[in-house]
Chains A and B, each alone.
Chain A
Amino acid sequence: GNSVTQMEGPVTLSEEAFLTINCTYTATGYPSLFWYVQYPGEGLQLLLKATKADDKGSNKGFEATYRKETTSFHLEKGSVQVSDSAVYFCALGGGTSYGKLTFGQGTILTVHP
């Protein structure tokens, strides 16, 4: 079945540091890949997505590239801000899953001034 593995957390960074959160997946078919973010006290919201191999999703300075050869979808940001502090979830859907999202366990990011 489908599965998603995220890097162990939590991650603590200083403002303007470079961020990488690793995500690898196992799936049948050709899934789409997503990063969702959950800010404190708020619901999950889509951060970015990629629908096929070599696609790059980007939003709010975050980027992730769909790498089929390494089954990865790592999240990166060149310069984090305090406001980026949140929980980040990697997920996959589509393919043979008919809409169902399979999530990783989440990575807590804390950014200090």
Chain B
Amino acid sequence: EAGVAQSPRYKIIEKRQSVAFWCNPISGHATLYWYQQILGQGPKLLIQFQNNGVVDDSQLPKDRFSAERLKGVDSTLKIQPAKLEDSAVYLCASSLNPQGAGEQFFGPGTRLTVL
């Protein structure tokens, strides 16, 4: 079974530029998550999709971050314009069952450096 795919793996941009990350979840997983992991901290949820609907985006900085999952499969996370503090690893995860003990499967992440 293929895992969660993410691209690119690394990205370096200047502040005020825009960037986009792509995620393809495990086949059949209805729930998709984007987390931000700043160096030395645990991942923090940015947005959660159930199929192509948003379940939770309370921690997403909506003035600069946007995300979509148009067909309920793969997803794109965009930052425009980027700030220095956006330097982090962006993790995508997916799960079959969003409730209870449903395991989340994580992709390898995209490491973003904003200069």
Interface residues of A (CB under 8 A from B): 4, 32, 36, 42-46, 49, 51, 89, 91, 93-94, 98-106
Contacts and interface: CB of A to CB of B under 8 A. Distances in A.
Interface string B89-113: 0010101011111111011110000
Contacts, number: 68
Contacts of B97: 99
A36 B43 CA distance: 11
28 contacts: A4-B42, A43-B4, A43-B91, A43-B109, A44-B93, A44-B106, A46-B103, A46-B104, A49-B101, A89-B43, A93-B101, A93-B102, A98-B55, A98-B56, A99-B31, A99-B48, A99-B98, A99-B99, A100-B56, A101-B33, A101-B45, A101-B104, A103-B42, A103-B43, A103-B44, A104-B42, A105-B41, A106-B41
B51 to A, nearest CB: 13
What DSSP secondary structure best describes chain A's contact surface? strand
Nearest to B109: A43
Contacts of B100: 32, 51, 94
B101 A98 contact: no
Interface residues of B, number: 29
Given A43-B108, A44-B106, A100 B91 contact: no
A25 to B, nearest CB: 12
A44 B94 CA distance: 12
Given A4-B42, A104-B42, A106-B42, A43 B99 contact: no
